[in-house]
Structure 1
Amino acid sequence: MKNVLVLGGTRFFGKRLVELLLQDGDSRVTILTRGVTEDDFGDRVARLAVDRTDEAALERAVGDIDWDIVYDNICFSPDEAAAAVRIFSRRAKRYILTSSLSVYNPQPAILTEADFDPEHYPLKLGGKADFSYQEGKRLAETVLLQTADFPVAAVRFPIVLGTDDYTRRLHFHIEHVQAGQPIGIPNPQAEISFIRSDEAADFLHWLGTSTLTGPVNACSDGTLTIGGVISIVEAATGKPAVIRSETADKDQSPFGIEESWYMDTAKARSAGFSFLSLSEWFPELVTSLNRSLS
């Protein structure tokens, strides 16, 4: 049996990952959260309730157990990453960090893992409040990949979507179009990557069994322009969108990027993972959400 620890596994793709691990039948799964969000795993998992930003409490919670895989979905700063390096030294056989497309600056060309190289990025410590989200994720990768004595993979996900998306980013667009409210989009022609929540969980699960290390891009095959997203929403709702280049903050699109921001997944595909087609699942998701929100 494999000992698997999931830091953050009670909602969205983290919850889906835990379900996949439980279906394996050969994993003892422990989830570590603050204990705020309830789960329905019952006695199928062990639970550790701790604030992962408290290094001493985190070390006491994980104890001296050897972990075959540690999934870290809730690391947002170099200090948190450095604590993980110390605590899991010689205890983790494989460490998988959930990182983000946000480590990259938007650009017209497709982004490869080499466009941000954490193994040569200046190492700097600090807490979550000391950095932007982008810089926090960059430095978390940097600390783990430069200093850990265990194998590390850093999964760079784009915006994750699904009916279970608690951030309701796609919901925002559907609700605004349904209500005839303006949506702020600075560049409708900007291309963007997405991944579905179950696909993100599938990828993390697969990565746990692979030997890939370092940064790994993971997104559905294909891209959409922001204008294309809106067109799909218009088709599902049967209503025209009211698009503005500038709006009040509350009406600004969560997808409202000024430049294209999309990833190449050749590294993961070459290792054997097959991604879903964005053009197939995205309209289906919009249609499903539109029905539930109508």
Structure 2
Amino acid sequence: MGKVLVLGGTRYFGKRLVNLLLREGAHDVTVATRGLTEAEFDGPVNRLTVDRSDETSLAKAAEAGPWDIVYDNICYSPNEALAAVRAFQGRVGRYVMTSTLSVYGFGKSPAVENDVNPYEYAWGAGERTDMDYGEGKRQAEAVFFQQAGFPVAAMRIPIVLGPDDYTRRLHFHVERIMNGTPIGLPNLAAEMSFISSAETADFLHWLGTGTDLAGPVNASSDGALTISELLGLIEGITGKRAIVLPEEEAGPENESPFGVPSSWVLDISKAKAAGYRFGKVMDWMPDLVGQIVEGKA
């Protein structure tokens, strides 16, 4: 039986990951959060109250080990990464960090892992408030891969969608099309990668327990969609036309969370070569749109 710690596991794909581990029946699972969100799981879990931004608090969680696997879904800065390196040194067999497509910025697409090399990327002391989201993740990765004395893998994922998406990014588009509200978009031809919350959890589970793959690893559902194709899918399911305007005309309140200036797609060949088989984006996207339309998500 593996002893697993999940930092941030009470909602969305973190909660799904915990339930996958529990259903497998081979792990002693501990969930560490600030204790602000109540969550029920599909089996018994141990719970720790941890302030991820407080190194002393994080060290206490590490001392409750040693841990076979640590999943870190809530690391956003080099300071938080450095605290984890110090806390878990000698106390973890494998460390899996959740990272993001945002480390690549816009430009080259599809993005390959070596486009941002965390083994060489420069980092410095800093909190999450000192830098934007993408830079915080870039530097956090750099700290882990340059400083940790234990194996680390970083899952780089695009926008995660699901019926449990508390940010309601796909809901934004479905609801505006249903209500005839304008959507501000800069580039309808831009392609984007997506991944479902279910597949995100499954990939995390595999990355921790099913492979010894290390370093940054891209993960997304197979097949990119242009923004125009996504809107067309919603139009077909709702029977209504999208009203699309340039962002400056639509106003800030109607700017799409998918409003990318150019294609933003992940190359997932590294994970495929290691044996992971991704589902296709169109295997789940239409059903999710339908759930939102019916008020079930």
Q: TM-score, normalised by structure 1?
A: 0.97
**Structure 2: 5+ residue stretches without partners:** none
Helix, strand or coil: the match of 1:134?
helix
What's the CA shift string for 1:83-137, capped at 9, x where partnerless? 0000000111000000000000222531110111111111211111111001000
Select the residue among 251, 254, 258 that pairs with 1:255.
258
Give the structure 1 partner of residue 227 of structure 2: 226
Any conservation in 1 of the 2:6–2:30 contact (CA below 8 Å)? yes
Give the structure 1 partner of residue 117 of structure 2: 117
Any conservation in 1 of the 2:22–2:43 contact (CA below 8 Å)? no
What's the CA shift string for 1:198-252, capped at 9, x where partnerless? 0000000011121000000000000000111111111111111110112211100
Select the residue among 270, 280, 285 that pairs with 1:282.
285
CA distance in 1, matches of 2:100, 2:295: 29
CA distance in 2, matches of 1:42, 1:20: 9
Give the structure 2 partner of residue 165 of structure 1: 165
User: Share of identical aligned residues, percent?
Assistant: 54
Map residues 1-294 of structure 1 onto 2, 5 A cutoff.
1-41=1-41, 44-107=44-107, 109-209=109-209, 210-246=211-247, 247-292=250-295
Give RMSD over aligned pairs: 1.3
Any conservation in 1 of the 2:19–2:43 contact (CA below 8 Å)? no
Any conservation in 1 of the 2:62–2:91 contact (CA below 8 Å)? no
Helix, strand or coil: the match of 2:76?
coil
- Displacement, 1:41? 2.5
User: Deviating runs (4+, > 3 A) in structure 1?
Assistant: none
**Structure 1: 5+ residue stretches without partners:** none
- Displacement, 1:42? 7.8
Q: TM-score, normalised by structure 2?
A: 0.96
CA distance in 2, matches of 1:71, 1:57: 17
- Displacement, 1:26? 1.3
